Amino acid sequence: MLCDRFKEFAHETELIGQERVAAVNDICDQLIAAGHSDAATIAEWKDGINEAWTDLLELIDTRTQALAASWELHKFFHDCKETLLRIHVRFIVLSFILTGCLVSVAGQSSFIEVIFVYSSETKSCTRQSTLKQADVLL
């Protein structure tokens, strides 16, 4: 949401700002061409306005990149929290199941089935974790 709002702000600023800077440049050029007595000062101010406009555009670009990087970092930490929660829940469930399997009469067959199910779920979780790590490295 913040990234979208900033993109909208940046777009509006670039459109309106470009129009205004172009209008000021035209006025400056007209004054200089008309032989205004302060033509040198007008030219300096014109250059200063153009430099400030370029600096502003660079700042907007830098801020856009910083917001995108912050969003990626936030997403990474959220995905890590989610993965850790899944691992923690599976650990607790596995602990209860293993305790129940050891107590039950048909413990061996149930135990083997539970281990097989959790083995496949652990592989799935490992794949997701690896993909998230790969996303971060890119």
- 97 with 114: CB under 8 angstroms? yes
Place of tokens 């200063």: 48
Res. 95 pLDDT band, cuts 50 70 90: confident
Sorted by sequence, the CB contacts under 8 Å of residue 29 that are 6+ apart come out as: 46
pLDDT at 25: 95
Q: What is the CA radius of gyration of the chain?
A: 31
pLDDT(125) > 90: no
Q: Can you give the pTM of this predicted structure?
A: 0.63
- 76 with 132: CB under 8 angstroms? yes
pLDDT(85) > 90: no
Res. 130 pLDDT band, cuts 50 70 90: confident
What pLDDT digit, counting tens, does each position of 22-80 carry? 999 999 999 999 999 999 999 999 999 999 999 999 999 999 999 999 998 898 889 88
d(CA 41, CA 119): 77
